[in-house]
Structure 1
């Protein structure tokens, strides 16, 4: 999926961004270099231990532990530590791009507040939400598959407390999702609606929704719509022939 996501970005963005990939250790830097040799710029690969060390250095021992035990914790730790250093547009690999989003995203120097996608429904960990941010359980719901940030995701105390709650559940993606959602509800914003579609109402249709005709800049193919990603990715490939 990462290959197709980057290919869609390559053909739709006017200016290519610096790409950083975070690996859980299943792929090494050399393997990324071989598969993505076609990408015209260097790709930075950060390994799990590098992210854990960055979290420890930032004073987040709990976050480092979460990153070691959970891929969702690794994702959260990568966003948290990297965004303190420079502007970050975090994007899941199951996102395809259709237009350059630069104008919608705005000046990266102004990304101090976290921004994320809205979704009609999104699974949250209810007990965590009720303890820390009940608004997470109310619409509009937050999808954390794309987040823009340059600064702190949330207050350090709240982050530590929520991560502590997530630690016993390393395989539950809703914990990390709830942490991101709390950040948006308490001090963040939503992206413009047209930046990304997060829906799956066309899963059983013969024809899937057309992002270009509907004016969307990208689509996040959440699990129920995952098969549509490969169909749309193939269409993008065929258009280039």
Structure 2
């Protein structure tokens, strides 16, 4: 592949954070006097950043129509959500199988690793430290680190420039439509993972360069190429 930079998504790719996100979402809804939802229902709302998760929870469905919420309602609910998520220990967030060893193998093989997530950046360092990954990534961007987030290519191109790599030397690795579209929009190869949060859509339908059903197989592919 002749690649040097691997740009990873976070939630749904490296970690399963839905149980903690669901707890924070339901805590927000309880505070606001609204109906709470099951883990499986909230799982389908994750992947487009915290604001969209909050809005979906407020209306109780994945598609939020224009005019259903005021900006003031969504702003207030998002702040309640942030407070709830900040107060959660994070103990329910787990790494997917073989991610910890796989990241270390890729780093040892000479790849530069970066993290581009739509999760607000304020919550990222704590999770990285929990897994001992804070030194693995040469660049880390959250959904609010720039004015634009995935599926816009801006975060990926920003990381390439910061780490002195061209898009054709980089690969975007993720589990969702936002990840694959961001990589394609940045004119870089994309590797899809089928086990994450993609609203029931097969990641292969988005035509990534390659797709894998588990992290170990993805690592094996990268180490051979």
Decide: shared fold, TM above 0.5.
no
| TM-score (structure 2 length as normaliser) | 0.32
Structure showing greater relative contact order (alpha-carbon pairs closer than 8 Å, 6 or more residues apart): 2
